[in-house]
Amino acid sequence: MMTLTPVLLALALTAAPAEPIKVGALMSITGPASFLGAPEARTLEMLVDELNKKGGVGGRPLQLVVKDTGGDPAKAISFAKQLIEEEQVFAIIGPPTSGETMAVKPIAQEAKTLLLSCAAAEAIVNPVAPWVFKTAQKDSHAIVKLFQQMKKMGTTRIGLLSSNTGFGKAGKEQIAKLAPEHGIQIAVDEVYDKAATDLTAEVTKLKAANVQAVLNWSIEPAQAIVLKNARQVGLTVPIFQSHGFANIQYVKAAGAAADGVIFPASRIVVAEALPEKHPQKAVLVAYKKAYEARFSEDASAFGGYAHDALGILVKAIGQVGPDKEKVRAAVEGMKGYVGTSGVFSFGPADHNGLDVDAFEMVTVKDGKFVLLAN
């Protein structure tokens, strides 16, 4: 039997570690969309750390390469090219905004690099691009959920506000498309600047039109301004928001004016209130506890989108190995994946994998998110 000399033994013990699997992340950590990108970047950092402590994926560590886009589509394009061409990442998670995602969608598609977006707009996955998926629920499903709630409340005539962003524009189009079939009339339709600091003029127009409710569609801090200004001008009707309201910071910013707001949300904002047997409860509570313990801030639906994107990617790699084509196919064929945003079942014609039931209707009571009682 051959015995190893001390030199050969030392070489054997210091064999090169397994090559890492590089995962790119396009995140708006700074700038106007930082409330989206920052918790998503922190979530990825936490999950990659946890995963690597357990041995990585198939014995290979994950290496996270994060680029801060500042919420700028031009920067997202530049960084996407950098991640693909220079860093040669296996896949990209993000961006968190719809405008940025639409800008990088053709780049990922052409490079045959898996893109798992954390943004909401329908156009990200419709039409389907083989290499592009998303983990945020669809705008249309959120709108249907809102219209169903309005019907229960006898609301038929609304005033619509939306911001001049990719998310705002996409939502406005879907609302206009879906309103007639749900018996909803849009009496007033106002678009405002995403950086608006006073929306008194817009909410005054809604009040003058005697609308039965207000629907605001945006993801920016202006959501809180809508609430404050509406109450200041004496608009007392119900105010509905998009799923982009699922950040407790907006409630804090609006103060008492936020009470009674109704919106569809990822179940993470009401995780503890879910029945014990709910299929998502264990996943939601585990993520929420880990995130809040590590970062000393409330977990949000937005961080959850990144949680699900990484989880889906890791599961696919675990199933078929680090082969780009096989992983893409594995994601497309994945069924029953339990995430924070819902239970995902993808298909060749569905690169979102969620339905209307991925949302829970939520309201604000005494400064907290609570399940809406029906």
Provide the residue-wise pLDDT of the chain in tens; the chain has 374 residues.
Answer: 445 555 554 544 555 568 999 999 999 999 988 989 999 999 999 999 999 999 999 999 999 999 999 999 999 999 999 999 999 999 999 999 989 999 999 999 999 999 999 998 888 999 999 999 999 998 899 999 999 999 999 999 999 999 998 889 989 999 999 999 999 999 999 999 999 999 999 999 999 999 999 999 998 889 999 999 999 999 999 999 999 898 888 999 999 999 999 999 999 999 999 999 999 999 999 999 999 999 999 898 899 999 999 999 999 999 999 999 999 999 999 999 999 999 999 999 999 999 999 999 999 999 999 999 87
Domain count, the chain: 2
Same domain, 299 and 333: yes
Residue 130 maps to a domain: yes
Contact 68, 82 (CB under 8 A): no
Contact 141, 356 (CB under 8 A): yes
**Residue 220 DSSP SS3:** coil
Contact 354, 341 (CB under 8 A): yes
Q: For residue 56, what are the domain limits?
A: 21-137+282-356
Pairwise CA distance, residues 66 & 361, whole Å: 33
Same domain, 218 and 309: no
Residue 371 maps to a domain: no
| Polymer length of the chain | 374
Residue 168: exposure state from Cβ atoms within 10 A (0-12, 13-18, ≥19): buried
Same domain, 261 and 322: no
Pairwise CA distance, residues 181 & 192, whole Å: 26
Whole-structure pTM value:
0.86
- The amino acid that residue 121 corresponds to is A
List residues bridging with 363 in a β-sheet.
262, 370
Residue 1 maps to a domain: no
Pairwise CA distance, residues 242 & 231, whole Å: 19
Cα angle 301-317-285, degrees, rounded to a multiple of 5:
30
Same domain, 25 and 113: yes
- Beta-carbon count within 10 A of 278 CB: 14
Same domain, 146 and 31: no
**Which helix (H) or strand (E) element contains residue 24?**
strand 21-27
Contact 214, 230 (CB under 8 A): yes
Same domain, 215 and 261: yes
Tokens 């004016």 correspond to 257
**Which helix (H) or strand (E) element contains residue 226?**
helix 222-232
| Domain CATH number, residue 125 | 3.40.50.2300
Residue 86: exposure state from Cβ atoms within 10 A (0-12, 13-18, ≥19): exposed
